[in-house]
Structure 1
């Protein structure tokens, strides 16, 4: 596979169009049901409009049907899938193996919620008819390389945005606290809440910190390495993000991917069209909890953000001193009235808007919580965001024109950068031109006008300039020729890999409750592929008490400098407590993995 895709999130039609305009090769979007983001649902009619717009540029549309399905929902889930296929989508992103059993005429992608972490699992999915596997975010480059080498499926990885601290699709933390389940599209994001780290017996080591909140991902500097490893789709997280985020981040990664492709002649973009932003993209100026490469280079510390799960933005400086209505920074920084700033102080995170700036002196609209020594961050750049809001980027497909005139008529032939052609012609008696050079120049100018079409005609050749072509005739043929070129492009089919299920053997003979088998079709799928023992999925269970509700490569002990590999002498159990909810931390050092087990205070107090 030599085509490379930049995959962007889309909350709705407007976001999808922005993603396409600013350079995405594909977009992923949720339908009305069974998507992992309930707040980003769209009607079939909206999805059809997205597909119509995207396909003009060869941009693919991937629909997310990535929640668990229960038996009574199977019919509705299949109906939704077929409606989305009829609307023109190019792939379905799924978690539940039931979709593999529905004989759907569409490309299937195994969602990151299938917990794609090993070469064995990725090989099985490829051999079972999945055209693509979407990787877990916690993998290192070496692990990614091994997976790419093992599977016939295409490999997609996240490159930017929020990180689920628990393994995707194997996290039941939200479900353990309420009826809301991440595997059912309604995660309450408990990983962004505050916790106390305790011994479970009344001693608190760390109080009121966001101990499970990790920084956001930014692998923009690693695109080339990922390409060389075999990754062919780069995914930006953010189906709930605003338009400014989409425009800024997509434009930024479009440039990063193009730069990497320029050094690799055997690889090429999977869509076409030039998008030249009228601002300088900078992902640090959009929502981010701080940049991290997570575990791309191996297990490491400093990936969490204990103080806040919110976007703090760019570091500005420290508060040197305060007056009644203003504060002074320890250095001058180019912030402006209208900016948003926040402060990390002993009171936690507080924020304010900026009313006035004079050198290092800043007048906010309120002073509550601002203390000397507090770190200052700009989490909203007013001028930058205004620039993005006013941005009007057009994505255009390069094309050339050939105008041919003779005594018997004239034709306008257009060819785009992919070799797609369209011709408009008229049979008509033409008069000799009084000034052939002027006639040629006028025809060339007319042929290169593209108006509000998706094309940019960069050059035009004129043959037969000795025959005069009236401007009105030339303009009509230009419009007809460019419209014909668009329609010809739209009639082309985007290549799909609709693959048979095959008879591959699953890497294990058993499936635990964490594997999320919640319906009869998924169960039949695994049994037909060699699984002997299947424990019913944990998600529909009445309680998670006593069960593992999260596994993660992230480790609190490592993050606070108490890695048991490095300091095996450390003894004692650790617990996370949030209100009435208590979780015992367990550490599998051989696998370098942390897990949370749901337990009650009574259970803890009964420990010997």
Structure 2
């Protein structure tokens, strides 16, 4: 098996069904990624079945295309058995790699096979060289970086690691860091970490600034990014050290796959061939036509909050034609800026995408009243719409017109993959030797796949009386490879004397050689499989471990109030780490131990933030990213490191891994409901688990700054004027709840749920299972409120109050009430 190396470039395509798979192969993908049944981040896609894996991989390997199975979700305790079954099926089918999020699953795969390839999913939230290094013991073959890394950061990471890096280059953008979005989980029990994203970021929100609604005109989609299109950055990405160019879209059409793959294939090949290549306006329009919410470079060229989103619509629009100049009796007049013809689909955009929009097929096009044949390129054009499609009384001057579909383009794209004969072919080299009285020996070399076969004639060679065998004649006969995946590149003939071979024999040799080579291509890759798996001995709690109540505070007032209670530990999670020394000073005054929280994201060059935390001399550190975990472990600190929820621990294998690597406690992922928590605690060492029993759930965590975008003329932290220090923003949803938006030291935003979440009713379950560390988190609460809430939970831990009575007390005193959140589902 050929190992992936950094000096190659791979074009990686999404496939959601067989048609998409064929479209990717036919249009030049080096590799494809796809989901199998339920264990992937697109459970709403059609996905493939486990028993299809051998057929899929044989098909892909026939064309020398790699196939990666997406296992990029968190795996719960009761799913580990089924997870192992899928891993084994992938190994047996010769899958080229599993794309994995869950660190527990990484452990399981390595226990099952030391050499089966693992790719670290973007859901791992890997954004620094330190995070890549954390994964080193698991021999991760490729790491998919976060979509928020820019070109300079990618280059920095690439220079510091030997691991090939994969980067998203085209398709939908998540506003939240992958692996760090809990919105769907909070609001609908449909976790993004489980492949069930409900796309709440595509919904409209009102901007509430300092308690007042800000007038935003027709901008309502403040969290809905444009789509990523980095085709113009292909040279810079290659030079930055990107190995794999990843296209998003496992729920898109085969025409989309064919279109995007073919365009990026050309851009990559042209650059690697040393030719100047500039994508044409026509190619860009065709990319927009397949699917587009408007295109952006995302963060690849650096942060520019003004260009990341449009704000006026959340869905695919296609190509902008122009605006309505005049409404006619049977259509509209438009100064078009893109080609248009009969049969194209259009929609009229009146600035209310949440309502039904007028649109349909173009019935006719005219110029100054005269019918036009063919395609109109630009200028004032009268667009005639089908009278049953468009109600022209609802169309107004100034409405935008979008070209939503192009049937001619779709037919052209379909032709690329509708017949297998149109697919790629591979060169063959043949060496032929022999002499009279012996069989003809032919050696066939498929160098691209690294394969060769030897086929002999079934009869001995005879001396030629008239027309001896020549290289030209062999090339003619062996070159008849139509209908196969091969084409003849070269023939070498080395025979003693003049010999003759019947054409029937040559045809038979050719067919046998091709069949053998194709069969070899389709053979499953072979991996080492450990047949005896030794289960690690479960660590049990030693006696009665006293319960600890922890207060996470986001202001000095909250810390002061917490310190005056009998709380056992203080956590400080401030917006700015420069304020941490004050937090430590207050805790020291009251002789309370204090841990300081790291940011959830660790980018290249941000070690200063981690060092600033150390300089504040905390008693422990609440660690929130793989990069920070690795950085602090390398320091060999003599203070505890506590893994937070953002490490996405969902099963006992992940708990064991982090504890073995050096963390002192683990906070499970917020994706777990009460039963899943109970299952985890039944297998993991409960005394090393910390449970959050009260909080405002952090829903989105995003590089996109709402403060900079809507309260500043600037584009990023260097010129925004820091409105976050003067104002408080909340996002009001359609129901009327206002969700606070807070920044961190890296200017990243966290959108917190408006309603507090309480796990009070489950405290008795956790106590029974041996959990000893309980965390209460505060957001905007006053010191008085902090004292009240901590008192309630202390009484619950002491058995003086039931969880239900606490629930009722919280519900009665909170203006918005209180929710059980994801625990109840």
Normalised TM-score (structure 2): 0.66
Equivalent of 2:403, from 354, 361, 378?
378
Q: Which residue of 1 aligns with 2:382?
A: 361
Alpha-carbon shift at residue 246 of structure 1 (Å): 1.1
Do residues 298 (structure 1) and 302 (structure 2) align? yes
For residues 282-339 of structure 1, the C-alpha deviation after alignment (integer angstroms, 9 at most, x for no partner) is 4223112121101112110211031212211122222221112211112475312221
More deviation in 236-245 or 2-11?
Answer: 2-11
Task: Quickly say closer, same or farther: Cα 1:544–1:485, change in 2 above 3 A.
Answer: farther
Shift of 1:253: 1.2
TM-score of the two chains, using structure 1 as the length reference: 0.89
Matches within 5 A, 1:33-72: 33-40=38-45, 41-72=47-78
Question: Could you say what the CA RMSD is over the residues aligned between the two structures, in angstroms?
Answer: 3.0
| Cα deviations by residue, 1:385-437 (Å, 9 ceiling, x for unpaired) | 11111224311111233445643343443223446332322133435253458
Contact kept? 2:645, 2:670, Cα under 8 Å: yes
Alpha-carbon spacing, 1:334–1:187, altered in 2? closer, same or farther (3 Å): same
Once the two structures are superposed, residues 316-368 of structure 1 have per-residue CA deviations (whole angstroms, 9 ceiling, x without a partner) of 22222111221111247531222111233244464322122224111122333
Distance 2:269 2:130 in 1: 32
Residues in 2 aligned to 1:390 and 1:263: alpha-carbon distance in whole angstroms: 30
Q: What is the alpha-carbon distance in structure 2 between the residues aligned to residue 258 and residue 173 of structure 1?
A: 40
Q: 1:444 to 1:58 in 2, by over 3 A?
A: closer
More moved, 538-547 vs 216-225: 538-547
Question: Secondary structure at 2:70's aligned position in 1?
Answer: strand
1:586 is matched with which residue?
742
Q: Which runs of 5+ in 2 are unaligned?
A: 276-281, 368-380, 531-626, 633-640, 675-692, 757-812, 818-825
User: CA–CA distance in 1 between the matches of 2:453 and 2:490?
Assistant: 16
Q: Using the TM superposition, name which of 252-261 and 345-354 deviates more.
A: 345-354
Question: 2:630 is paired with a residue of what secondary structure?
Answer: coil
Inter-CA distance 130–444: structure 2 relative to 1 (3 Å threshold)? closer
For 1:468 and 1:115, locate their aligned partners in 2 and report how far apart those are by CA, in whole Å.
66
C-alpha separation in 1, matches of 2:816 and 2:42: 38
3-state SS of paired residue (1:205): coil
Mapped to 1, the partners of 2:210 and 2:84 lie a distance apart of: 46
TM-superposition CA deviations, 1:187-235 (whole Å, max 9, x none) = 1111111111123746343377111110111112222222222221111
Q: Which residue of 2 aligns with 1:397?
A: 426
1:457 maps to 2:488: yes
CA distance in 2, matches of 1:123, 1:479: 49
Partner residue, 2:95: 89
Aligned partners of 2:526 and 2:234: how far apart in 1? 25
Greater Rg over alpha carbons, structure: 2
Q: 2:265 aligns with which of 245, 248, 254?
A: 254
Partner residue of 1:209 out of 220, 239, 260: 220
Q: Secondary structure at the match of 2:98?
A: strand
Moved more, 144-153 or 23-32: 144-153
Determine the C-alpha separation between the residues in 1 that align with 2:292 and 2:750. Answer: 26
Give the equivalent residue in structure 1 for 2:703.
553
1:136 shift after superposition: 0.7
Which 10-residue stretch deviates more, 526-535 or 402-411?
402-411
Paired residue secondary structure (2:153) = helix
Task: Give, in angstroms, the shift of residue 552 of structure 1.
Answer: 0.6
| Distance (Å, rounded) in 2 between the aligned partners of 1:440 and 1:523 | 66
Question: What is the match of residue 662 of structure 2?
Answer: 530
Instruction: Please say if 1:74 is aligned against 2:46.
Output: no
Q: Output aligned runs, 1:92-111, within 5 Å.
A: 92-102=98-108, 103-105=111-113, 106-111=116-121
By how many angstroms is 1:80 displaced? 1.7
Q: Number of aligned pairs?
A: 585
Q: Deviations over 1:516-547 (max 9, x none)?
A: 21211111111111112322211125799612
**C-alpha displacement of 1:384:** 0.7
After TM superposition, the structure 1 = structure 2 runs for residues 260-339 of structure 1, keeping only pairs within 5 Å, are 260-263=271-274, 282-300=286-304, 301-331=306-336, 333-339=338-344
